């Protein structure tokens, strides 16, 4: 479906930690050939099974800061103590090839990117509840107790950015979410709009969970 005469669409996928954004974007790029996935640079250590150049470019803080100085990023952010940034070159090349470029980035970076490229389409991915988010983060087993609490806490702030997104999709059944997201990106379906009641309930749920986990720690 790639088209040499068409400049590719820019799509950002953000969402709460543990919601399955990584799996969602891998399925989109694996199942449909019109996508190019931007690989970010990070100072976070690789998780088990993550591969340099595929999941991220893993670099030191010094290398990351050098790339900032050279103007090598379209955006970057500090998330939970680590740097994450979007390298420029890949995006420019992929768009020129007519690919729809997907960036899986957090909310601060998404807002910076949207300012540079106002045509960017923003998709927020959530779980159906805060309790489900905690279950997935715990089940993933890649972060320890305090890191998980930190990510749940960070989600309270992230939720405030939801109104800036073009739509909010719930990743309950993965394939349903993949198909829905693909149709939304292709413009075949209008995605579900931001719902303030859902957001409020989610944030309340997060606050209760964070309070419970903090009390458990004492």
Task: Choose between 1 and 157: whose C-beta lies nearer to ligand 5GP.
Answer: 157
* Site mask for ligand 5GP (CB under 6 A), range 69-108, x = bound: ------xxx-x----xxx-----------------xxx-x
The answer to whether 202 contacts ligand 5GP (rule: CB under 6 A) is: no
Starting from the edge strand earliest in sequence, which strands make up the sheet with 82-87, in order?
57-58, 41-42, 82-87, 73-79
* Site mask for ligand 5GP (CB under 6 A), range 7-26, x = bound: ----------x---x-----
The answer to whether 126 contacts ligand 5GP (rule: CB under 6 A) is: no
Reduced 3-state DSSP string for 58-93 = ECCHHHHHHHHHCCCEEEEEEECCEEEEEEHHHHHH
Task: Choose between 2 and 111: whose C-beta lies nearer to ligand 5GP.
Answer: 111
The answer to whether 44 contacts ligand 5GP (rule: CB under 6 A) is: yes
3-state secondary structure of 42: strand
- Return the residues of window 160-189 that contact ligand 5GP according to CB under 6 A: none
CA dist list (Å): 110 to 33, 113, 120, 123, 133: 24, 5, 9, 10, 21
Do the bridges between strand 41-42 and strand 82-87 make them parallel or antiparallel, or are there none, so unpaired?
A: antiparallel
Q: Which residues bind ligand 5GP (CB under 6 A)?
A: 17, 21, 40, 44, 75-77, 79, 84-86, 104-106, 108-109
């Amino acid at each position: 479906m790639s088209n040499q005469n068409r400049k590719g669409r820019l799509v950002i996928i953000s969402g709460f930690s543990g919601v399955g954004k990584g799996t969602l974007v891998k399925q989109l790029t694996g199942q449909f050939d019109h996508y190019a996935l931007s690989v970010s640079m990070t100072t976070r250590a690789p998780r088990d099974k993550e591969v340099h150049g595929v999941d991220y470019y893993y670099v030191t803080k010094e290398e990351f800061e050098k790339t900032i100085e050279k103007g090598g990023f379209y955006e970057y952010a500090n998330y939970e103590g680590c740097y994450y940034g979007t390298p420029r070159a890949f995006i420019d090349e992929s768009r020129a090839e007519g690919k729809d470029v997907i960036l899986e980035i957090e909310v601060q970076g998404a807002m910076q990117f949207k300012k540079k490229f106002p045509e960017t389409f923003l998709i927020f991915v959530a779980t159906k509840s805060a309790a489900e988010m905690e279950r997935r983060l715990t089940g993933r087993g890649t972060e320890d107790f305090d890191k998980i609490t930190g990510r749940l806490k960070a989600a309270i702030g992230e939720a405030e950015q939801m109104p800036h997104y073009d739509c909010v999709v719930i990743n309950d059944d993965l394939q349903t979410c993949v198909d829905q997201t693909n149709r939304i990106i292709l413009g075949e379906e209008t995605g579900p709009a931001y719902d303030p009641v859902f957001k409020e309930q989610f944030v309340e749920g997060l606050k209760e969970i964070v309070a419970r986990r903090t009390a458990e720690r004492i």
